[in-house]
């Protein structure tokens, strides 16, 4: 019996693509992995949207830690976007050292820590979408405001945890 089980395990492993194709009705394994990645991103976006006041930490130009309130604005094309003003210290800090961390917590004492590299991009489409957020529109008025900057977090990793005793959820985005 153990030999038969070993045979089927080897057969299953060596033919996993064929079996997966039959199980998933023609869906490629890469598509299945993309769905899992999308769900991870959706969980992070949901947590950020449900807890709209986040805190962004940078290393200041003086080499000291800096933390300030911030707001996630949107997810587009698998990227988590934020915005700021290019005249602020936070922008200058990120230009010198782009590695940042964002955190927030929920009323139920769950929290997220999201870190990666801030990448500034003059993405007019993202800036236009940001204008749908009343606070952003009130501050910058138009997407072509010369002080209005958008950035996304590259190499993003997130941890969502709480005090339940369950292990934290780790995400590479």
- Structural domains of the chain ordered from first start: 39-172 (2.30.110.10)
Helices 2-14 and 16-23, axial angle in degrees (round to 10)? 80
pLDDT tens track of the chain, all 173 residues? 444 333 333 333 333 333 333 334 444 444 444 446 668 999 999 999 999 999 999 999 999 999 999 999 999 999 999 999 999 999 999 999 999 999 999 999 999 999 999 999 999 999 999 999 999 999 999 999 999 999 999 999 999 999 999 999 999 99
Do 70 and 51 form a contact (C-beta atoms < 8 A)?
no
């Amino acid at each position: 019996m153990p030999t038969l089980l070993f045979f089927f395990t080897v057969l299953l492993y060596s033919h996993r693509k064929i079996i997966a194709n039959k199980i998933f009705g023609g869906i490629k394994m890469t598509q299945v992995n993309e769905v899992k990645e999308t769900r991870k991103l959706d969980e992070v976006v949901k947590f950020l949207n449900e807890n709209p006041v986040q805190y962004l930490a940078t290393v200041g130009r003086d080499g000291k830690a800096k933390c300030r309130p911030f707001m996630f604005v949107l997810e587009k094309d698998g990227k988590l976007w934020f915005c700021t003003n290019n005249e602020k210290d936070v922008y200058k800090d990120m230009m010198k050292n782009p590695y940042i961390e964002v955190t927030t917590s929920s009323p139920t004492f769950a929290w997220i820590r999201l870190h990666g590299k801030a990448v500034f991009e003059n993405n007019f489409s993202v800036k236009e979408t940001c204008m749908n957020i009343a606070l952003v529109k009130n501050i910058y008025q138009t997407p072509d405001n010369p002080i209005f900057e958008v950035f996304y977090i590259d190499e993003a990793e997130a941890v969502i945890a709480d005090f339940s005793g369950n292990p934290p959820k780790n995400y590479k985005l």
